[in-house]
Amino acid sequence: MEIVTVVVQYAGGLEISEGATLDPATGIVHVSERLQQLLRECDTTESPPRLTVLDGGVRHLLIRDRAEFKRGETIALPIPRSAFPFSGFGHAWSKDQRQQFGRFMHTLAAASVVGAVGFWHATTSWTVAAVRNEAGLAFAVVILFLVGMDSMNGE
């Protein structure tokens, strides 16, 4: 017997997560009587739920046949997408830490804008080096702003 997590998701937004046991030989998942009773109650008022079982990091469909639950086919977990290539950096932080990091990146972006404007006004002759420095500051503004937005996750 293995301990697994059963996840019940209703279209209305209700999501229930409950521990259960799995018999690996037969694929039968033994859920608690409390969860079975809750499912029977919700069947009268809700649309049919999506039942999944999380077994060692792999998500499977859970097939419900009256009082018996059986592990079904494997479901591929979606990969989070982001425009920023290093989007995994800092996502283990708390919400407050991510927000502070995003604010810091936006502060550095604003400082780069000020530096670019100051450099623009201070330059008397536009050499290749001056153009390269100005382009570098403009590039820093864009990258720092995008990193700040990505770290906040829209919060």
User: What pLDDT does 81 receive?
Assistant: 54
The structural domain count of the chain equals: 2
Domain boundary among 43, 75, 107: 75
pLDDT digits (tens, 9 = 90+) for 62-121: 888 877 888 888 887 665 555 555 555 555 677 888 889 889 999 999 999 999 999 999
Domain boundary among 20, 41, 75: 75
Tokens representing 90 are: 């800092």
Domain that holds residue 17: 2-75
21 located within any domain: yes
Asked if 151 and 109 count as a contact pair (C-beta separation under 8 A), the reply is: no
Nearest to 155 by CA among 110, 81, 102, 109: 102
pLDDT digits (tens, 9 = 90+) for 134-152: 999 999 999 999 988 888 7
CA distances from 38 to 29, 45, 52 (A): 16, 11, 16
Based on the fold, state whether residues 106 and 57 are members of the same structural domain: no
86 located within any domain: no
112 located within any domain: yes
Based on the fold, state whether residues 14 and 71 are members of the same structural domain: yes
Nearest to 19 by CA among 46, 45, 43, 55: 55
Based on the fold, state whether residues 24 and 63 are members of the same structural domain: yes
Tokens representing 10 are: 């209703």
Asked if 66 and 40 count as a contact pair (C-beta separation under 8 A), the reply is: no
